[in-house]
Chains A and B, each alone.
Chain A
Amino acid sequence: MGKKTVIHIQDLFFSYEENPVLQQLDFSIQEGDLLALVGPNGSGKTTLLKILLGILSPKAGRVLLDNKPLQSYAPKERAKHIAYVSQQPALNFPLTAFELVALGRYPHSGRFKAAKPDAAAVNEALKLTETIHLRERKFSTLSGGEKQKVLISRALAQSARILLLDEPTLHLDLYHQIQILKILKELCVERSAIVVAVLHELNLVSLYADKVAMLRRGIIHAFGPVREVLNETNIKEVFGVAMAAREESESGARYFIPRDRLA
């Protein structure tokens, strides 16, 4: 393969007070990977994202970014490597899409530096998500799908290689769910970006993710290429739901349907 490993997670442990939230986490992420974090609510997915963001520090074990501990990066330096798209924030202020995406340039701009080259980067980020035509619109007037694309543009404007997303397809219609995943996939394929996303829609995970980390009660239940990990047994063990795997005859794409709906 020869793909470069960018993130190493070594024997990671995290707890809120006395309650362990994540333990024995041990895996690595290579460039070009689209990694889906999958698991029931409360399984530690969001906590793992926050640790990868440097918002939370591991209680034991470590996270290495380019072989250096994540904690050793200054906030602005870290922001040049890792960008984040949270679940949609409530924005009560009249920012335009352009202004919002421009906020992503923060780590690249000094307090008194001219903003000229930044405008190019912002436009570029808007083009990547096909939202350039929305640039002068107020963010609060956009539809849910448009908002999400603009928020992803903001993270792209940060020019980071690694993109972390917390449920990027939440509350979106089918068209926008697929569009968002296509955009993320393209970033991985064309720009060797790393995308780590918390996702719930297993069929979309099956179609778009390269690798899957299945979490259950703070432990990685299974990790690896999507074809190997996303199967009936693991889904049953992690989610407690009996799903039947089917394969689409022409493309071989695998999808899942609840067993009790099968005749």
Chain B
Amino acid sequence: MKRILLGWIVISCSLLIAFILALSIGPVWISFLDMSETDKLILFSLRLPRSLSAFFVGGGLALAGAIFQGLFRNPLADSYLLGISSGASLGAAAAIVLGLASPLANFTAVSLFSFLGALSALCLVFYFGRKNGEFSVFRLLLAGLGVGLFFSSIVAVFLLMAQEELKALLFFFLGGFATSSWDTTWVSLACVPIGVLVACTFARELNVLLLGEETATSSGVRAGRIQALYAILAAFLTSVSVSLAGLIGFVGLIVPHIIRIIFGADHRTLFPLTFFAGGVFLVLCDTIARIVMEPSELPVGIVTSLVGVPLFLYLLCKETSDYGL
């Protein structure tokens, strides 16, 4: 219990520090104590919505990762590796290319299509990742990889066909917060906290499900319902994140993993801690992405991949023996 309390203190402090850094650092350095009118404009209409977007997207992706890991009982699962993010980006891209929605004028529609894309990817992964009623670690990741590559390829085709929508589409490929404004940030403000609450509400049931569907059913958990709920919830969080910030990988892999090592696997503490830690992580990554190549920006997905891939490979080496790969 002490450890968890300490965890909350550390996360609150880092949240504060991350936001101070994100809001003050940039081409223009802003001191909170002495702000000009321009500084205020930059702070409130550019950096604040951007940082909030980064926070909720990071938190949402990390939570989606934690949910997928619990749901599939597979510590290597995450929206990006399972192809769910690619599905979401395909949904959004299709909506834009087919002229059903534009990313600026009709953001809600883009999000909706993105959600549909994520759900279809999820169905495919569920279908192909399962054998004899069981998700094997290996098969699931292969199915996710296949589905992700396939959907990304279709996005690439759209990209080549597109003329004026090119910029909007490219964004879904590279990912980032350069275009964040209050117009889009409110979606994450409204959607992600609801997702966090729902995830925490049924965390006990997901804990029991770690022992397998049959054992969970025998303990009185309505396994099918809980699994469906969490699958849809994770797809929802992924699609909100993707429609706001494009493809950002590995947040959902690294963050829950580290939190789990330190605080244990109980989803009741894992979910809220993962959400906040994921938010802090992405705010920091976005700050790095903004400043490291000034005046141009690095897509934030590149920063998270540079941090995430080595860790993923490390996990693959270290833990495969335990996971029967």
State whether A92 touches B74 (Cβ < 8 A): yes
State whether A106 touches B204 (Cβ < 8 A): yes
Interface presence of B139 (CB below 8 A): no
State whether A106 touches B220 (Cβ < 8 A): yes
- Return the chain A residue nearest B72 by Cβ: A92
State whether A78 touches B220 (Cβ < 8 A): yes
Per-residue contact bits, chain B 220-264, to A (CB 8 Å; 1 contact, 0 not): 111000000000000000000000000000000000000011001
Per-residue contact bits, chain B 191-212, to A (CB 8 Å; 1 contact, 0 not): 0000000000100110110111
Residues of A within 8 A of B32 (CB): none
Residues of B within 8 A of A103 (CB): 207-208, 210-211, 219
Interface presence of B218 (CB below 8 A): yes
Out of A50, A77, A104, which one reaches B219, CB within 8 Å? A104
Residues of B within 8 A of A99 (CB): 264-266
State whether B214 touches A93 (Cβ < 8 A): no
B68-123 residues at the A interface, CB under 8 angstroms: 70, 73-75
State whether B265 touches A95 (Cβ < 8 A): yes
- Return the chain B residue nearest A164 by Cβ: B218
State whether A92 touches B322 (Cβ < 8 A): yes
CA distance A90 to B325 in the complex (A): 12
State whether B217 touches A75 (Cβ < 8 A): yes
Interface presence of A107 (CB below 8 A): yes
- Return the chain B residue nearest A107 by Cβ: B220
Out of A85, A90, A104, A154, which one reaches B324, CB within 8 Å? A90
Residues of B within 8 A of A100 (CB): 211
Interface presence of A206 (CB below 8 A): no
State whether A86 touches B73 (Cβ < 8 A): no
Out of B208, B212, B266, B322, which one reaches A140, CB within 8 Å? B322
Interface presence of A243 (CB below 8 A): no
Residues of B within 8 A of A199 (CB): none
Q: Report the minimal beta-carbon distance from A191 to chain B, rounded to whole angstroms.
A: 19
CA distance A104 to B216 in the complex (A): 9
Residue from the set B208, B218, B221 with the largest chain A CB neighbour count within 10 Å: B218
- Return the chain B residue nearest A166 by Cβ: B214
Out of B222, B264, B319, which one reaches A75, CB within 8 Å? B222
A50 with B214, Cβ < 8 A, contacts A92-B322, A106-B208 known: yes
Per-residue contact bits, chain A 145-175, to B (CB 8 Å; 1 contact, 0 not): 0000000001000100000100000000000
- 12 A-B residue pairs with Cβ-Cβ distance under 8 Å, sorted by A, are A75-B217, A78-B220, A84-B215, A86-B212, A91-B210, A93-B73, A93-B75, A93-B210, A103-B207, A103-B219, A106-B208, A140-B322
Q: Given contact pairs A76-B220, A154-B211, enumerate 10 new A-B contacts (beta carbons under 8 Å).
A: A75-B217, A75-B220, A77-B220, A86-B212, A89-B211, A90-B323, A91-B210, A92-B323, A96-B264, A106-B208
Query: Which residues of B line the A interface, CB within 8 A?
Result: 70, 73-75, 137, 201, 204-205, 207-208, 210-212, 214-215, 217-222, 260-261, 264-266, 319, 322-324
- When A and B form their complex, which 3 residue pairs have the shortest distance between CB atoms, in order from nearest? A79-B220, A84-B218, A76-B220
